Amino acid sequence: AQSVTQLGSHVSVSEGALFLLRCNYSSSVPPYLFWYVQYPNQGLQLLLKYTSAATLVKGINGFEAEFKKSETSFHLTKPSAHMSDAAEYFCAVTHTGGFKTIFGAGTRLFVKA
């Protein structure tokens, strides 16, 4: 069975600074990995996904994530935080044999002016 662990339920960063949100997965078969963002009172929106092509994935608004099989990780980064990045971020995994997407517990990002 697959699972997702997000280290750090809250992360605080200064505006303009780089930030990294951690995600580790567990899957017995090759995974597909996703990062979603949720703004208050809104549904989740896809930021980026890894589906076994390039291990460095670029998403919308300058977000990137790197798939590292040896570390079973898929950490999300952005070089420069904006106030508008304040939201909750969810890492998710789907394994290649099924259609069920499993989400991590989420990391809430705070951006300080």
- Nearest of 83, 41, 75, 70 to residue 57 by alpha carbon: 75
In the complex, what is the shortest distance from the CB of residue 46 to other proteins, in angstroms, rounded to a whole number? 4
> Is residue 32 a contact point for other proteins (CB under 8 A)?
yes
In the complex, what is the shortest distance from the CB of residue 9 to other proteins, in angstroms, rounded to a whole number? 7
Interacting positions 45-84 with other proteins (CB under 8 A): 45-46, 49, 51
Could you tell me if 28 and 95 are in contact, meaning their C-beta atoms sit under 8 angstroms apart?
yes
Please identify, using beta-carbon distances, which residue of 17 and 46 lies nearer to other proteins: 46
Phi, psi of 82 (to 5 degrees): -115, 155
What's the burial of 112, exposed, middle or buried (CB within 10 Å: 0-12/13-18/19+)? exposed
> Is residue 28 a contact point for other proteins (CB under 8 A)?
no
Footprint of other proteins (CB under 8 A): 4, 6, 9, 32, 34, 36, 41-46, 49, 51, 90, 92, 94, 96, 98-106
